[in-house]
Structure 1
Amino acid sequence: MLKLGWQSLVPGWWLILMLAGVSALIFYAYRPVHFSGRLRRWLPVLHALAVVLLVLLLVQPELALGLRRRTKNRLHILVDTSLSMGIKDRRGVSRLDRAREFLKARHYFRSMRPVFHTAGQELTEVSREALAGLKPEAGASRIAAAVRDLAERVGRDGAAILVLTDGADPTPPDWEGLKKNLRTPVYAVGIGESEFKDLSLAELVVNSPVYQGQTVHIGAYVRQSGYPPGLARIRLKQADRVLQESTLRDSGLFSYAEFQVPAAAAGVFEYQVEVARQPNEALTDNNTGLAVVQVVAPRIKILYLDGGLRWEYKFLKRYLESDAQLEPYFLVRVGGSLFQQTGGGKLSLPADFLSRRDFLKGFNLVILGDLDFTAFTGRQLAALRDFVLEDGGGLALLGGDNFLRGLAGTPLEALLPVALAGGESRVLTEAFSPAAAAVSQPVTFLEGLGRLPRLERRNPFRVPARGGLVLLTRDGDPGQPVAAVNLAPQGRCLVVGTDDTWRWYFSGASERQRYEEFWGRLIRYLCGPEEYLGIGRRLPDLLLDRREYGLGEPVAVRLAWRPGGPEGSPEVFWQDQSGRRERLVFKSEAASFTPPAEGLYLVGATAAGRSVFKWVTVSRSGSEWSEPGRNDAWLERLAETGGGRYLRLESAGGFGPELARGEPVTYNVSLARPARRFLLPAVFLMLNLCWFLRRRQGVI
């Protein structure tokens, strides 16, 4: 590109006018003059040249010529050498060999200075000769981290970074952070086939921790490629013994199967899930997975207050005392705010105990029977509210002649899953069967509950559009709730609009079983395993990035707490299969450890005699096989973040012109100030020569 400019402060239009004026003046001066021979042609030219030089001295022109010069820039080539690059295509050629073929066939690399690097778990620079001996042996892909490290290492020293990979990077990248570190464009070449025959056990979902006597649910999500959805067989094993076998069913993006196992004993138990190998399956290392379940034997502390020795109280008291996992305490109102203990464990009641949060925090669940709340003080009701919202406790309010009476306008009203209208204490005597409501979220209390035996008394109430979830309805009518629970961030408040469930207890063996099942489910729903263990308050919620790690990879552990936590200082540790433990040291709620060998590892926390566990598995491949197909979406994002382009291997020849571009070079020619000492004498000589020649011709 050619550019012309000048360094004079005089406007350009004035210079053009001046040059045109001087030229016209010279033409006018010589028009009537007659010279002989050559002098007629050269004298005006000589005069005009002197004037042009004089103008150039005034404007100081600068001429810039920009050219693109072809140079041999550095091209940093990053080759993935993780295990997934050893997968072979239909021709029997591995992905790493395909990458080598690509580098050998591209002629435009000759016009550059390629620098080769390998990326698996670490970034390593290698020579061109070493490419032939590379093997796909790295335990896990860390492509995004390798690109970031390479960008920091080379800075702007290079035309681009070219990445050859299948995109099997299990670590969620920090795309924004990566974008800030990149100073050279990143181009990606996708190696491998996006679709090939494979079944991969993508995720195992377990309801852990779970109470002893409940059911363990293990959900297996399988990613299928090249096979019809579902159809494959899947097995649940423990200690190499097959417990159950099922067939995968299609659930959209994944195929799915669920296993249910009774939690018969307390402890930590390991299960294996195995998908049957399919004909011509390309990879079988990703067909198995481990699941760990923590089974808790609780002692749920319950404070039960009622307004009298009614039938509902008597039979519920009998059941609570018979359940070995419950530790109940019973109080019956004898007048005003006076209560008398009527059974259960011995209890030392402080003065005005219902207003004492420190007293209420000693229980997991508070049951309020047929009580008239007009006798409660605002301080007592506020303490009950805070017991749920601040301390994560469970609260149940039972039906009867005084159902929810006196709660309107109190601190407890906002916690209720009921829109108080004033008629909740009214009792309807009509036969009905409580039925499980249709809910949009998982509720353990309702799983397999079905329709319950008939009742004859209920309290009508209405659930607000927001803040409440109906659990049971009258004969399946969603407009007539029988039981509802609030949707508070922590803790649960439940209302049961009947005082008639005691009838089930003596109606027959099957009804008695449903009675015990109903109240057992309800209590364990109000105080679930996580609430009982105090996860988020006494014990931290243990957050792990993933469950599968490669050998040598650090396992990052973060702690999460609910508002108001932690209560105390729990010990957090990791434990191997031999039972050896090592304590983790945290800084800003984060820590990490590197497992020394392959196997199953527990990450746990313990405090006040209670523990919680998460698990990880460590193997040579880590999570390398979780999604072994070419990840086009991930590679497109990588190239987009790096300001480059992504092409699949079969169409990657188009990178040549972009990678082999030259450097821009500008040549400048200017009339600088030092040149005046040479041009001024030249102008002076030219003008004097013109004057001399004109005088000789007799022209002034």
Structure 2
Amino acid sequence: MRKRGKLLQVLSCKFGLYYDCREVSLNQAFSRRPPTTTQNLSLIDDIMISSFDPACTWWLIALWLLLMLALAAWTYRRLHAHVQTSYRLLMLGLEVALILLGLILLAQPLRTVKRPEPGSFRIAVLADQSLSMNTQDGNQTESRRQILTRLLNREVTPLQRLSAQGRLDVHGFADDCQPVIYDGNTPLLEPLPGRTPLGPTLRQFLNQDVAAPLGAVLMMSDGRSNAGEPTMEVAKLYRTSGIPVSCVGIGQAGAARDLKVQAAADAILAQRDDDFTVSAVVSSAYTTPQTVTVSLQEHGVILSTQEITVPPGQSANVTFTHKTPVAGHHTYAFRIDPPADDSRPDNDLDFISVNVQEPPAFHILYLGGGLDWEWRFLNIYAQSNDQINIAAIIKTGPESFFLAGIPEEPGQPLKAFPSDTAFYDNYDAVILDSRATAMFNDEAVASLRAFVENKGGGILLRGPVDALPAPLRDILPVQDVQPLRATRETRPIVSRDFIFARDLAGTLRSAQGIFLPAGTLVRPAIGLKRAARPALTLPGLPEGQGVLLAGMGFGAGRCAYLGLESTWRWRLSATSGQLAHETFWNLILVWLSETSKPRVKMHGSGAKAGLGEEMRLDLDVLGDDFRPAPDARITALIQTPDGQTREIALAPADEVIGRYEAAYYPTVAGEHRVDYDIRLPASRLTRTTSFVARPIGVEAENTAFNEELLRDLARVTGGRYYTPEEFLAQGHSLPLSPLLPMREETRPLASSWLLVVLFCSSALIFWWLRRRIGLK
């Protein structure tokens, strides 16, 4: 039986057939482990001789064979004296060949062809879309991602032939794994955020429960695995399951030749119109000194440049001085012009965020029942103070209003005090003349109360309190007031804490401080509410009486009552009176305004994030009633530094009402602008902010090509390792799992065209030789 099997192998190989061709690595040859019982199939058909269907009985075939061999031997001996030895040997060989071919025709061997059932299995193609694939290796004209895009083009021959054998599942992976989207024949391989877990990605496909079994895996990667379980541990599972993993290594090995720049700090604070300095560190991995130009840029515009020399294997510092008249978050870029053989162009750019500050400004709204001197001098005071902005709505007639700092729509004059809560969005505090409240409707009263109670705004009431609506009396810190006139000049007592605690110089308590001229009309409080505290009182009266200024907290905001009508007189009294007037109003308005909450609070403004790392897009939103909004619909439109846009929907947070959140993973370094569209049931808000993505993080720390890991993965699982060029030439013959369903076809060997060609060729050559030596 052994001899017969050996003969069949020789016959099948002789006639151009493939008999269970296998590859044995040196590691397997010298391994002490016993050989495995299963072997991987190739996409080339597995062909062998299985049986015979002889044309006659075997004893007749054996008799014919002996007769033919005897005739060949007799012919060789008969021509011994007449024909040269070379001719006789050649003719003998041709006779034997014809006898063997005739034997095949008589024995009729049957060949069995085994091949995987087309479409009955899957071939998983895993494309590495992590940020390390953005690397452009030294002396290469394409980045790793561009090479990957070329390999996955549907017009590439290996993919076309693989898809004819099994169903191709092409997935891109980084932290997550998702199907690759094609635009025609070209794959859209955008960088995916997060780290690169090669092991968990392979395990995900091994554990998939789908109808079509997994026949092979083709991984295209640079071999950087920085998360999850070790890749080789999962490779052992693939070997046990009999599924080969072939790898295409994308990258270039070699010693690092790199210059990189890194900002010395993530962010700094600066003042508007003042000089500030930003610093960066340039590091070299070269073995020779490198001279490089470093530039400071904003929005692609070069602001300044410096040329420095970096010693081999060391670092050098560079510092720029700059200033700007524009307050807010600014993103500045440090860029270097590296040598041509720099291996990592991705770290030639870094960013720093500069928060340019200006003195805080408070927006105050004055609601008056008539034009008076108090308003006029308050307006003069605000115009001389850059931190205080006062707008006004003052009733001047039955159907007329005086407006200051508030735009009026043409042809639509204001006919009533505002009743919409949205009107108070941009204000921190309100000065309310109680005489104006008589013209407030219910909606106006409710909006003003919501401004204090929910938004955290401040309100200062002045004037008589008898006509105040009940909702506004609730927020009044005094029980009632009593109008009086000062009989002589009086200096009220200023509390050292509470509202005037910031008067560290004692301006209001000094001899040149505030005073009440004789005949001044005042309205001291008659009793305070439990939470109220006095800040300014008349001297010589029992505790709780004669209070001219009292305040308390109410809801999220603050409220105060001022029983003075003519603080403007201080400004006219003497040189020091102007200082006392400004100090008095500065301290009151700052105290009222500092609890005001923005309608939209953006937590990520000016934040810094590493490439591929999570960036939180979190907002706190107040609704139309200034309460946390549970029913807002928010989308964020992100504009990346490379000009692309991405829209993300924010979801309500579980733990905080009115907070909306989403996660974003930047894949491009630079300033990302975020435009928020906030839709509420009765209004719509828009906000804009920005954050900076820097080339830092796990994916940017080490982008060296890890060829060894990919080769080990292919070797252990029984797959093959390809370079990109080898895959384009040979990638159509991937090793397949031996456990795949096979289709067998049995055909007679005599029907092979190769057999016919060999028989006819041998017969013609044999006839030609006989004619050449003169035989018939």
TM-score when normalising by structure 1: 0.39
> TM-score, length-normalised on structure 2?
0.36
Bigger radius of gyration, 1 or 2?
2
